[in-house]
Amino acid sequence: MSKAPRLLLVMQTEDASAGRCARQLRERGYQLEFRYPQRGESLPAGMDGYAGAIVFGGPMSANDDGKLPGIRAQLDWIPTALDSGRPFLGICLGAQLLARALGATIKPHPAGLAEIGYFPIQPVAGQTVFNANALLHVYHWHREGFDLPHGAELLATGDRFPHQAYRYGANAFGVQFHPEVQQKILETWLTEGAHDLTAPGAQSAAKQRDLHVRHDLALDQWCEGFLDEWLRN
């Protein structure tokens, strides 16, 4: 019997959940290995034995490498992951860490706005990751955005933060939003992060719940197709 392929999932906090992504990956037969660099766990010296890696989001900044060794460790490790040629995905903070490792700048919105809740993103013409004929409403929870790394392909844009998804090379992707968020995660974040809902531009908890009902199925279907494309490369 062949051994199930392994994916490395890099998590930022002890209680973080990979949510929808974990479920869909396990349904595809992948074994998931979790690492927690913020608590001092090391990242692998290479990607031998892994089919790919995902770096998830967290409340810290990609610019916190001076005070958080776990952020510095990820910035140092990402080039190794990319050099392996294995599929790599950065989600929210993970996308910002990927962008910074590629030389791009991470910075707040110029007017101090947050992007917390469901907001539409606009696919860029010519890409194959999103349906070019439809807006996809995705879930966000962030205050910083990133410049597009040199050599990267922009896949989707947004009104508040223009760089919402990008591709670097054949199989490295960064998305500013949170495809892993399903109802359980949403309710946890709305409770534990209630203080952030007063930030300029943040949607109320009631509006987020309403938009979750309206848009979660489409996001679930997009994630299914995206993971298939990501893992094929």
Enumerate the active-site residues.
92, 178, 180
Q: What is the pTM of this model?
A: 0.96
21 to 18, 132, 185, 225: CA distances (angstroms): 6, 23, 12, 12
Q: How far apart, in whole angstroms, are the C-alpha atoms of residue 162 and residue 147? A: 9
CB proximity list for 217: less than 8 A, separation 6 or greater: none
Looking at residue 7, its pLDDT comes to 97
Looking at residue 65, its pLDDT comes to 96
Looking at residue 1, its pLDDT comes to 47
Looking up tokens 């490498």 gives 65
Domain map (residue ranges) of the chain: 6-232
Domain 6-232 listed as CATH 3.40.50.880 = yes
Structure tokens at 132: 């070019």
Q: How far apart, in whole angstroms, are the C-alpha atoms of residue 93 and residue 10? A: 11
Give the CB-side neighbour count of residue 6, counting CA atoms within 13 A.
12
Query: Do 109 and 200 touch, CB atoms closer than 8 A?
Result: no
Q: How far apart, in whole angstroms, are the C-alpha atoms of residue 143 and residue 201? A: 10
- Report residue 64: phi and psi, to 5°: -90, 20
For the chain (233 residues), the mean pLDDT of every run of 10, in chain order, is: 84 94 96 96 94 96 97 97 96 98 96 97 92 90 96 96 96 96 96 96 98 96 94 80
